Amino acid sequence: MAGLTHVSASVAAAREAQPVPVSPAASIDQSIEHRMQSARIVGLGAAIIVNRQLVWTRGYGFADKERALPFTSDTIMNIGSISKTVTGAALMRAVQDGKLSLDEDINHYLPFKVANPSFPNEPITLRQLATHTSSITDRGPAYASAYHFGRDSTQTLGAFLHDYFAPDGKHHSPDNFLSTKPGTHRDYSNIGAALAGYLVERAVGEEFNAYTKRIIFAPLKMAHTGWLMSEVDLTNHSNLYMAQGLAVPIQLYGLTTYPDGGLRTSVEELARFFIALLNGGEYQGVRILDQASVDEMLRFQYNPANPPDNVKLSGEGALNSGIFWATKDSLARIGHNGADPGLVTMMLADADKQLGVILFTNTAVQPEDGEVYRAIFDDLWQLGMNLKASGTNAIDRQEK
């Protein structure tokens, strides 16, 4: 995550059939395998969505190199900040059901007060949290304490946030906020996203992980998806690696602030959620959000009349934000990326929502090799464009 380095009947029918060779995919394997080898990436999973249908999946390399267990499109791993898009969908479901308002002072819902000490009377809203303009910032040492290597966190989400925001909390500090008025400046905040998850939890009267399972994962048949290590099958969970000359495995870890980056899923299952959002909230006849809620989640939230003071809204380098829904490449792509110890992930679509690519890698490479992720993603994007042009509607699945 940035704080540390920062879903049709035809598809269902295709799943019952044998995989159909798709000619535009013929050359990608060699390219990806070469890039993985050069940067020492151990394992990789990818999915391509065309016209809101899953048309291609692959796994490459290993989920567990030491035991030669292959990485497949069903391999589970934690996905970093792509998790925030699920938090955004849960937030919008609570808004849709009348449990929350995007523009209410968040203190209306909380058992402790959250206020920027430089602007103590200025309300902070859910919309600001979801667009990273709340003035809440991630203070490094405090945020690092949310990571628990080898286990799930024993501290609750609410307890961590109390410690960060309440005057008697052990991590309370004026430095948990910027010296900018809420709503005026963009600063990517993981803790702000975790707070949004907690606000959902408070409003719906259900723990966030249970709520998202009930309203998102179960309806979409994401049976192997969960937030905690205790919620998933660890025998199908990828190891994570740091490429330091050799690819060195690191312990799996739990995250106290899990709504900001702790989701564990596969490219196969995440594709269902991504398609639902690209398809107005519906996947294969199952609706997780109404059209209006999805429209609000995906629309650009920064107002040209009053943008954040550090954001360019047009031209080269422009960016904007939905509700935990980001823009990339000067507004040409929408979705989210993720990074955390031992992983880099991407989930992006074109602005017309006709082409989408998901990429999981279980290895964090050295800075000088960092461009390899974008190069692999670009290979997948070009394949997606070729598949779209070919008019394919069959799933091409093959594990490498």
Q: What secondary structure, in 3-state letters, does the chain show?
A: CHHHCCCCHHHHHHHHCCCCCCHHHCCHHHHHHHHHHHHCCCEEEEEEEECCEEEEEEEEEEEECCCCEECCCCCEEECHHHHHHHHHHHHHHHHHCCCCCCCCEHHHCCCCCCCCCCCCCCCCEHHHHHCCCCCECCCHHHHHCCEEECCCCCCCHHHHHHHHHCCCCCCCCHHHECCCCCCCCCCCCHHHHHHHHHHHHHHHCCCHHHHHHHHHHCCCCCCCCECCHHHCCHHHECCEEEEECEEEEECCEEECCHHHCCCEECHHHHHHHHHHHHCCCEECCEECCCHHHHHHHHCCCCCCCCCCCCCCCCCCCCCCECCCCEEECCCCEEEEEEEECCEEEEEEEECCCCEEEEEEECEECCHHHCHHHHHHHHHHHHHHHHHHHHCCCCCEEEEC
Residue 290 has pLDDT above 80, yes or no: yes
What is the spatial distance between Cα 134 and Cα 127, in angstroms, rounded to a whole number? 8
What is the spatial distance between Cα 104 and Cα 123, in angstroms, rounded to a whole number? 8
pLDDT digits (tens, 9 = 90+) for 180-208: 999 999 999 999 999 999 999 999 999 99
Place of tokens 């070469």: 34
Q: Which amino acid is at 207?
A: E
Instruction: Tell me the torsion sign for CA atoms 102, 104, 109, 114.
Output: positive
pLDDT digits (tens, 9 = 90+) for 73-95: 999 999 999 999 999 999 999 99
What is the spatial distance between Cα 326 and Cα 348, in angstroms, rounded to a whole number? 9
pLDDT at 329: 95
Apex 253 CA angle, 367 and 5, nearest 5:
30
What is the spatial distance between Cα 196 and Cα 177, in angstroms, rounded to a whole number? 16
CB 95 within 8 A of CB 196: no
Q: pTM for the whole thing?
A: 0.92
Task: Using alpha carbons, list the distances in angstroms from residue 117 to 174, 185, 342.
Answer: 6, 16, 36
pLDDT digits (tens, 9 = 90+) for 362-388: 999 999 999 999 999 999 999 999 999
CB 220 within 8 A of CB 274: no
pLDDT at 393: 67
Residue 109 has pLDDT above 90, yes or no: yes
Residue 21 has pLDDT above 80, yes or no: no
pLDDT digits (tens, 9 = 90+) for 227-277: 999 999 999 999 999 998 899 999 999 999 999 999 999 999 999 999 999
CB 272 within 8 A of CB 265: no
What is the spatial distance between Cα 274 and Cα 49, in angstroms, rounded to a whole number? 9
pLDDT at 245: 85
Judge residue 289's burial from the number of C-beta atoms within 10 Å of its C-beta, 0-12 exposed, 13-18 middle, 19 or more buried. buried
Residue 28: both structure tokens together: 């990608």
216-251 b/e (C-beta count within 10 Å ≥ 16 → b):
bbeebebebbbbebeebeeeebbbbbbbeeebebee
Residue ranges of domains in the chain, CATH in brackets? 2-399 (3.40.710.10)
